[in-house]
Amino acid sequence: MRIRPERLVLHAVLISVALLWLTPTVGLLVSSFRPRDAVLSSGWWTVFTHFWDLRQFTLENYIEILTAQGMARAFRNSLLITIPSTVIPISVAALAAYAFAWMDFPARRFLFGVVVGLMIVPLQMTLIPLLRVYNRLGLAGTFVGIWLAHTGYGLPFAIYLLRNFFAALPRDLFESAYLDGASQWTAFWRLALPLSTPALASLAIFQFLWVWNDLLVALIYLGGTEDVAPLTVKLTGLVNSLGQNWHLLTAAAFVTMALPLVVFLTLQRYFVRGILAGSIKG
| CATH code of the domain containing 102 | 1.10.3720.10
3-class DSSP assignment, residue 280:
coil
Question: For residue 251, how far is the Cα from the chain centroid?
Answer: 21
In a domain, 250, yes or no: yes
Domain span at residue 16 reads 5-43+54-64
In a domain, 182, yes or no: yes
Domain identity same for 84 and 34: no
Distances in Å between the Cα of 48 and the Cα atoms of 39, 158, 249 are: 14, 45, 22
Domain identity same for 29 and 169: no
pLDDT truncated to tens, each residue of the chain (282 aa)?
566 777 888 888 889 998 898 888 888 888 888 888 888 787 888 888 777 777 778 888 899 888 878 889 999 999 999 999 999 999 999 999 999 988 888 988 999 999 999 898 888 899 999 999 999 999 998 999 999 999 999 999 999 989 988 888 888 888 888 888 888 888 888 888 888 888 888 888 889 999 999 999 999 998 777 789 899 998 888 877 776 777 888 888 888 988 888 887 777 776 666 556 545 444
Helix then strand then coil, % of the chain, to nearest 5: 80, 0, 20
Cβ–Cβ < 8 Å for 115, 152: no
3-class DSSP assignment, residue 64:
helix
Instruction: Give per-residue pLDDT as tens, 143-153.
Output: 999 999 999 99
Domain identity same for 137 and 118: yes
Domain identity same for 124 and 189: yes
